[in-house]
Structure 1
Amino acid sequence: MQESVSLAAMAAPHQKFTNPIADTDTAGPGDASRLTIDLGALAGNWRRLARLAGPAETAAAVKGDGYGIGLEAAGAALDRAGCRTFFVAVPSEGVRLRRVLPRATIYVLNGLTAGNANALAAAGLRPVIGSLEEWREWSAWRADGGQGEAALHIDTGMNRLGLTADEAQSVASADWQQQGLALVISHLACADTPAHALNQLQLERFRAAAGLFPGLPASLANSAGIHSGPDYRFDLVRPGIALYGGVFREGVAPLDVVATVEAQVLQVRDVAAGEPIGYGAAETVKRPSRVAILCVGYADGYPRASSSTDARSGASVFLHGQRAPLLGRISMDLMAIDVTDIPAARRGDWTELFGPNIAVDEVAGFAGTIGYELLTSLGGRYQRRYTGGV
């Protein structure tokens, strides 16, 4: 493992969170895009889920740089709201989070990478062991005096990471109580679709698997799983996208918006009917139009596939209380919108690309993807602003 923190740094007293971007902000004077992150909304979403999930503990997934809003900011806000257990994907994320939260419990979902048990334990990170090979390496390290803790991931139908039922049985038949196991987990594949038959099958399989490890806390539910009912919640739930205001389950409204992305109008120009807009002349205006050019493109994580063409409508933005549709292809750094019906539109206006008026999942839908991808793809050129500290 290449990244680690010293034990002295890990033991440093917990300090009040300050904006981690403030000292490293690369936004230049006059940069015309911004990302506003409402930490109060994030904390409020966690509290709502914790009330619903109780008496199970409510942890938080903060992988993918805190779903794009900033790992350190997300972790600190959730910690102040009462969250004590966190899930990251890779060790480097865990190292970053440990610097902010020296006393938190941090699990690494992608497991034990070869030869790194000692480094993970030294950094105060718990691997989520997802294969028999990982388990054998972990057991050997523990037998050699290693003192770290870990979780055990059992596959119940995702067929991604996790021990098979037979492999779990073999672990349970051995001396697992001496191996530092602190949690047994699985992951729901279809909880966002309540009627899917795999949900009940995974629940039954996980009950059987968790039963092999009596006394060990168990965790199955993600954001959607929390809303599947008490049977799915076990001892600990692991919400992710619901915390950040994205769609997480059919028929359930998203929680409060956390991330708002805005871009400034660089100019407004008149375009004659029949003239093309942007690369490839993909769209031709049908009427004399006023076209505003915005300072955001796919280099900022706004998906090119959300573009508008003559063949199909694209996404919209929000300006002066109205929706304004995209025109033509989104380019690397710019996009065009139709402001013909918004006479107040001017250079310098701020437009909402997604946030409280344009849902992130709506924009994602035009790109054939999901809100997770937009949030975790946000580029580094936005002026980041954190509000609603808790």
Structure 2
Amino acid sequence: MAALIDEADNFDVAPLRLTVDLAALCDNWRDLSRLSGRARAGAVVKADAYGLGIEDCGASLYHAGARDFFVAAASEGATLRAYAPEARIFVLSGIWPGQEEHFFDNDLVPVLASEEQLAFWMSVLADRGDHPCALQVDTGFNRLGLSVEEAMELAEDVSRPASFSPVLVLSHLHSGDTPSAEANRAQLQRFREVSTAFEGVEASLSASAGIALGADYHFDLTRPGIALYGGEAVNSVANPMRPVATAEARILQIRTASAGETVSYGGAHRLARDSRLAVASVGYADGYLRNLSGAGIALRDSVKTGAFGFIAGHRVPVVGRITMDLTIFDVTDLPQGAIAAGDYIELFGHNMALDEVARAGGTIGYELLTSLGLRYERRYLDGKI
């Protein structure tokens, strides 16, 4: 696991730094567990726990009480197993030839999503004996999953081997983030039919957004993901989750520029006044997306101004194009002497909401988190009970 806050590291002098508040992560999980009512709350930790570190996040969630985890790949599950020894770990991409050792050695549960995977799994069980699996059913997403018809046929197939023992049947809402969407109710009805057919097998339909739809959508197990990490799960609703990640970049230089001069590549931003500019050590190589630039981005339509940072109690805009390693912020409106080279500017966190920054780039908080580069020095605030 990464060093905790009280251990010496390079955090105070790093060009880029990321603080992960594991206590906030665990509080978010407890809140989502309460909102899940009678259902248990699992935890989705795929994509390196949404970019924040599967080892530390997984261990903290396990200590907080999570016992059902979801990863995308078997390698993620193998990593997590050391930090969640008694948990059920579901692998959403299923199992493929050559991965058997990963699954059996690390006690991973494949989520089977096709007739091909089912056939392979049956052959594995014939050689290896009993091992749990899960079934994913497509109730209208047109992504992964058995069709409803295929799932119903499987449920009614009395010839299936006794060693075939699914412990969970799951599906996923495509418009859970929009509570008024009629598709949610249509998917719910189809999933009820499937879950009823698999009598005695636990069922799971809701990720973060689905939890907010109410008890009808909870079934036996919920699968919170983005909400755990402080992101917005439901459109047009105030986000109740605690911020978990704070990203900061060091200011390398503060420079003056005159009205009429241009800033960054292509001269896309022309200064309307004499300005002070803070050049920060972050760029698109660090997941601070080029689409967050203050100017010169042709494809961005929804937000014209680009992103803001936060420093010395003020929001400051990005000016010009973001480059691979550097971003320029306009700090003209800050009092003289309020900041200096070497100070840190918040990119997102407690003062700059993750999803507000994401919207400035025409994207979502998921992408900002999972795009975090390798150059951030990380600090984990301990979240164990």
Q: Name the counterpart of 1:188.
A: 173
How many positions carry a matched residue from both structures? 371
Q: Name the counterpart of 2:291.
A: 305
Alpha-carbon distance in structure 2 between the residues aligned to 1:270 and 1:119: 57
Q: Note if contact 1:284-1:310 (Cα within 8 Å) is conserved in structure 2.
A: no
Q: CA deviation at 1:346?
A: 1.2
Please list, as runs of the form range in 1=range in 2, the aligned pairs for 1:29-68 lying within 5 A after superposition.
30-68=13-51
Alpha-carbon distance in structure 1 between the residues aligned to 2:283 and 2:191: 44
Q: Name the counterpart of 1:156.
A: 139
Over 3 Å counting, the alpha-carbon distance change for 1:148 and 1:252 in structure 2 is farther
Equivalent position amino acid for 1:233 in 2: H
Equivalent position amino acid for 2:184 in 1: N
Equivalent position to 1:227, from 188, 191, 212: 212
Q: CA deviation at 1:118?
A: 4.8
Equivalent position amino acid for 2:343 in 1: D
**Deviation string for 1:269-297 (max 9, x for gaps)?**
00000111111111011100000100111
Q: Name the counterpart of 1:172.
A: 155
Q: Note if contact 2:310-2:347 (Cα within 8 Å) is conserved in structure 1.
A: yes
Q: Name the counterpart of 1:352.
A: 346
Alpha-carbon distance in structure 1 between the residues aligned to 2:296 and 2:71: 42
Q: Name the counterpart of 1:280.
A: 266
Q: Note if contact 2:16-2:376 (Cα within 8 Å) is conserved in structure 1.
A: yes
Over 3 Å counting, the alpha-carbon distance change for 1:91 and 1:340 in structure 2 is same
Please list, as runs of the form range in 1=range in 2, the aligned pairs for 1:1-390 lying within 5 A after superposition.
18-19=1-2, 30-174=13-157, 175=160, 178-250=163-235, 251-309=237-295, 312-343=304-335, 344-390=338-384
Alpha-carbon distance in structure 2 between the residues aligned to 1:91 and 1:303: 29
Q: CA deviation at 1:27?
A: 6.3
**Deviation string for 1:140-171 (max 9, x for gaps)?**
22233432211001110111100011211221
Counterpart secondary structure, 1:154: strand
Alpha-carbon distance in structure 1 between the residues aligned to 2:193 and 2:296: 54
**Deviation string for 1:294-353 (max 9, x for gaps)?**
011111111100101178421100010010001100000000000111121211111110
TM-score, normalised via structure 1 length: 0.91
Q: Percent identity?
A: 49
Q: Note if contact 1:248-1:254 (Cα within 8 Å) is conserved in structure 2.
A: no
Q: CA deviation at 1:121?
A: 2.0
Q: Note if contact 2:3-2:380 (Cα within 8 Å) is conserved in structure 1.
A: no
Over 3 Å counting, the alpha-carbon distance change for 1:28 and 1:388 in structure 2 is closer
Equivalent position amino acid for 2:260 in 1: G
Q: Note if contact 1:121-1:147 (Cα within 8 Å) is conserved in structure 2.
A: no
Most deviating of 33-42 and 91-100? 91-100
Structure 1 segments unaligned to the other structure (5+ residues): 1-17
Over 3 Å counting, the alpha-carbon distance change for 1:66 and 1:232 in structure 2 is same
Q: Note if contact 1:20-1:73 (Cα within 8 Å) is conserved in structure 2.
A: no
Alpha-carbon distance in structure 1 between the residues aligned to 2:45 and 2:162: 29
Alpha-carbon distance in structure 2 between the residues aligned to 1:114 and 1:21: 39
Q: What RMSD, in angstroms, separates the aligned Cα atoms of the two structures?
A: 1.9
Alpha-carbon distance in structure 1 between the residues aligned to 2:343 and 2:45: 33
Q: CA deviation at 1:124?
A: 1.0
Most deviating of 140-149 and 211-220? 140-149
Over 3 Å counting, the alpha-carbon distance change for 1:109 and 1:159 in structure 2 is same
Q: Name the counterpart of 2:301.
A: none
Counterpart secondary structure, 2:176: coil
